[in-house]
A and B are shown apart, each in its own frame.
Chain A
Amino acid sequence: MAQEQAARAAVPGRSAPAAPAGEPDIWERVARMDEFKSLLTAREKFVIPAVIFFVVYYFLLPISVGYFPQFMDKRVGSVNLAYLFALSQFFVAWLIAFLYVRAARRFDEYGRRILDHVDTSKEGK
């Protein structure tokens, strides 16, 4: 903590409005806001599982096609398993993008509230 205090004094934020000595600057104030903590949690709750899921789902394709080509060549209708799995990647990617955009509306809501708060607190001074 003391180290951080010293650092703050030594390196004033480039684009941050100067804060009086000893008082947290605008970034620290936002970082301590409940809305900001909720924003980070909400974002992590979506992004981390989504990234893990798409990376695993994607690499299953080269792994299955590379190491089990016979199995993946199994006929399914007029195509084979390998082609269907590859095609499914496109729709899964679009689905994740759609879900993210939907979830991100909440992030925007938190963001807007934080920015509103910052604006009014500036006016209050």
Chain B
Amino acid sequence: MSTSLLMFLVFIVITLGITYWAARRSAGAGAYFAASRRITAWQNGVAVAGDYMSAASFLGIAGLIAFFGYDGFMYSVGWLVAYLTVLLVVAEPLRNAGKYTMADVLAYRLKPRPVRAMASVSTLTVSTFYMIAQMVGAGALVSLLLKGSGINFRTAVIGVGILMIVYVVFGGMLATTWVQIIKAILLMTGTILLSILVMSKFGFSFSNFFTAVQHVSYHGPAGQEITKDFLQPGLRFKPPNGPLELISLGMALIFGTAGLPHILVRFYTVPDAKTARYSVVWAMILIGSFYIMTTFLGFGAATIVGRDFISTHGGNNMSAPLLAQAVAGDVFFAFISAIAFATILAVVAGLTISASTSFAHDFWTNVIHKGVERKPGEEVMVSRIAAFVVGAVAISIAIVLGPSANVAFLVALAFAVAASANLPVIVLSIFWRRFNTLGAVMGLAVGLLASIVLILIGPSVMGIDTATTPAISRHLIQHAPIFPLENPGIASIPLGFIGAFLGTLLGGREASAEHKFTELEVRANTGLGSEKALAH
């Protein structure tokens, strides 16, 4: 196990070195918030992939496929296809019209204060919930991976939290970007190696591999032996609600990714819209290859390690590391564990910078101080303080919740809010001339509320447990669920759009917004007047 710790430390030393290097290049708002807009297409593409492929995907998907077979792979598909929304609809207009945050685009032709205030609330909600889910997972995982080294859940959470704060506060967007790039390269390397090792166990024969996948054996709760075809759909998403759940999940993924603030801000780090476009393509190549390989990770864990062993050795999130151990021993286990650690750290750093930038740029400067910095550098300073506060809050909440908290629904919530609140208003403000301030505020508010309420009254939070239910899957509210689906997208996304439409109708014609639509349309499509890259 000490090999794991050593590899963690190597990663920490390298990333802190990068932070030191980046800190000296991060003077000024453009440098701090947007890495001077000098990130190249491939760098940003790799960083987007790094920001996106969270522990939930590396560990979570491998685990879902290991436990539920084909149905787990359904997540993998949605996570790639979602990038077509980013590529075709959002990335280029956003880069051309905005400066540092998602709200820049929304505020462009609408009344900035109410719109930014709501957008900031939505950004902070998505980022904080997502971060708490990652932190709890990180703490549990790191303490498990480093078992015997004296690092417990609390130390792990505090360690991860402090590192993420250091990257963001001192190194800004430049350091965060490079942490993402290193993490993505490590993750891809680890996944490719792991896939090759899995296939070597099957003599590099797909037919042998898939034959094994169709005969996976494990023991049921009553101790009986079960053999299942893991390619068969429906092991997780069962009738009656399974099909709707799948569609609803798909909607949240396909429309939510293009509304995730920590992904969107990445497009401000490149010099122009064309580079943003190519960076999405780079990201799609990496993300697609990664998620195709979850076939080998997940099915490999199911066939080589087996559900029984994984259940008694840390649960489904440990599938990928345990698979590494099974196919190549302790050093490879340590390597994959270090990658899992890097994965979590990079994602929480990305979330922290997008949350703190939104607070400083949208809320502090533009809502409270009406768009004027009272002294130079104030926005960056406020953002640094906000990063520190956001980090401290996430650490505290994660510690209070503890390692066995059932927080998987927070990831679903983040995607639901992104799809139901953020995406409708981004799309309508870019494409609908009539769209106005009240429409944006109501779209954001209705989408946000609908997502939160439907998750709170859905089966992720509400349910009646028996005395034997383990703590990790206990429901927060002991009551039969009122809303039948874990993923609220199918209801909350239309509600977000309806909110935006009704708000627009209620708000009446807003001449200034309609006039500035032409300006936004020209700017979004041609890049005229867009933010330029800064000199060194």
Which residues of A pack against B, CB within 8 Å?
Answer: 3-4, 6-8, 10-11, 13, 15-16, 26-28, 30-31, 36, 39-40, 43, 47, 50-51, 54-55, 58-59, 61-63, 65-67, 69, 72-73, 77-80, 82-83, 86-87, 89-90, 93-94, 96-98, 100-101, 104, 107-108, 111, 114-115, 118
Contact = CB atoms under 8 A, between A and B. Distances in A.
A11 B526 CA distance: 22
A80 B231 contact: yes
A99 to B, nearest CB: 10
Report which residue of A10, A89, A97 has the largest number of chain B beta carbons within 10 angstroms of its beta carbon. Answer: A97
Q: Which 3 A-B pairs have the closest CB atoms?
A: A66-B243, A7-B511, A62-B246
A7 B84 contact: no
Contacts of A65: 70, 74, 233-234, 243, 246
Interface of A is mostly: helix
A66 B514 contact: no
A73 B522 contact: no
A83 B247 contact: no
B211 interface: yes
Given A73-B231, A111-B527, A58 B292 contact: no
A90 to B, nearest CB: 5
B237 interface: yes
Contacts of A73: 229, 231-233
B247 A62 contact: yes
B274 A93 contact: no
A58 B250 contact: yes
A46 B280 CA distance: 17
A123 to B, nearest CB: 16
Contacts of A69: 232-234
B512 interface: yes
B88 interface: yes
B432 to A, nearest CB: 14
B364 interface: no
Contact of A13 (B233, B249, B250, B519): B519
A50 to B, nearest CB: 6
Interface in B335-390: none
Contact of B288 (A59, A82, A93, A118): A93
Interface residues of B, number: 58
Contacts of B234: 65, 69
B416 to A, nearest CB: 16
A63 B247 contact: yes
A89 to B, nearest CB: 5
A14 to B, nearest CB: 9
Contacts of B85: 51
Interface stretch (B75-83, B126-134, B135-143): B75-83
A111 B511 contact: no
B250 A62 contact: yes
11 contacts: A7-B514, A27-B518, A27-B519, A30-B522, A30-B528, A51-B84, A86-B76, A90-B77, A90-B80, A93-B288, A94-B288
A50 B88 contact: yes
A94 B80 CA distance: 9
A97 to B, nearest CB: 5
Contacts of B285: 94
B508 interface: no
A93 B528 contact: no
A90 B247 contact: no
B100 interface: no
Report which residue of B74, B84, B288, B529 has the largest number of chain A beta carbons within 10 angstroms of its beta carbon. Answer: B84
A114 B528 contact: yes
A31 B522 contact: yes
Nearest to A26: B528
B74 A62 contact: yes
B504 to A, nearest CB: 17
A15 B530 CA distance: 9
